[in-house]
Amino acid sequence: MSDTVKVVIIDDHKLVTDCIGLFLKGAKDVEVIGVAHSGKEALTMLKNNDPQVLLVDISMPEMSGIELTEAVKKKHPTLKILILSMHSDYNNISDAIDAGADGYVPKDVSSEELVEAILTVSKGKNYFHSTISDEIVKNYATKRQQNDNILPQLTKRELEVLQLFAEGFNNSEIADKLFLSVRTIESHKNHILQKTNMKNSVELIKFAIKNKIIEI
């Protein structure tokens, strides 16, 4: 069993851990070395066990799977974490990735794909089930479209004002460069803030950088 990938299953429902254990029992390349029913229990277990992959549920009392992932990655950065959850919405996926998860699969995944996911993350690669990947791509496309829709709303003059402002010029200097009054520049800036939904000058500069209105 020395060449097998050592796995710990973490889920607050015993029926779930029992079922997953049965799924993995017949897999020649995977060995379940422990089961925990809470995040705290998992952290304690890691003191005396050396798994390569953690299968982690998101919805658990006291400590969520996201919080557990973040805590584990701080103490054991090389330990791989595969989220196994019934939640496939972008917020949970994004939070899991931000916390350091190496992969994400839904609970209705087949036993064959679960093994494939475990083996993949154990090798240092990421694994996302197709529905998870689709959700990530869909959300990215939506955000990209939203960003693309903001810029056309700005007039050519507003883009000029925004560019100069983001480059560090004050209202008086921008007015001189564009042969406009300071009051007109202030009016343009207020319109830009309203159109982009930015709250202040700092956010406006970040917006300009993100949308490549200026280069850094």
pLDDT band at 1 (very low <50, low <70, confident <90, very high): very low
- Under 8 Å between Cβ of 83 and 65: yes
- Domain stop point among 81, 99, 131: 131
Q: If you average pLDDT over residues 193-216, what whole number do you get? A: 81
| 32 shares its domain with 88 | yes
DSSP structural state of residue 32: E
- In this structure, is residue 17 part of a structural domain? yes
Q: Which pLDDT score is estimated for 149? A: 57
Range of 74-83, 92-101, 179-188 with top mean pLDDT: 74-83
Query: Is the pLDDT assigned to residue 100 strictly greater than 80?
Result: yes
- Looking at the predicted structure, is the pLDDT value of residue 137 above 70? no
Per-residue confidence (pLDDT) for residue 17, from 0 to 100: 94
Is residue 19 located within the same domain as residue 108? yes
**Does 55 share its domain with 94?**
yes
Is residue 144 one of the residues assigned to a domain? no
Reported as a single tens digit per residue, the pLDDT across 54-63 is 999 999 988 9
Residue 120 has pLDDT above 50, yes or no: yes
Q: Percent of the chain at pLDDT above 90?
A: 46
The pLDDT of residue 139: 66
Q: Is 146 inside a domain boundary?
A: no
Q: Is residue 216 part of a domain?
A: no
Per the structure, the count of domains in the chain is: 2
**Spatial separation of the C-alpha atoms in residues 85 and 40, rounded to whole Å:** 18
pLDDT for position 179? 87
Weakest mean pLDDT among 116-120, 128-132, 164-168: 128-132
Do 103 and 83 touch, CB atoms closer than 8 A? Answer: yes
For residue 169, give its domain range.
Answer: 154-210
What CA–CA distance (Å, rounded) separates 138 from 125?
22
Cα–Cα dist 126/51, whole Å: 17
Residue 204 sits in the same domain as residue 115:
no
Assess whether pLDDT exceeds 90 at residue 114: yes
162 shares a domain with 126: no
pLDDT of residue 46: 94
What pLDDT does 216 receive? Answer: 53
pTM strictly above 0.85: no
CATH code: domain of residue 160: 1.10.10.10
DSSP β-bridge partners for residue 198:
none
Looking at residue 38, what is its pLDDT? 95
Q: Are residues 46 and 80 in the same domain?
A: yes
How far apart (Å, rounded) are the C-alpha atoms in residues 26 and 155?
Answer: 64
Q: How many helices (H) and strands (E) does the chain have?
A: 10, 6
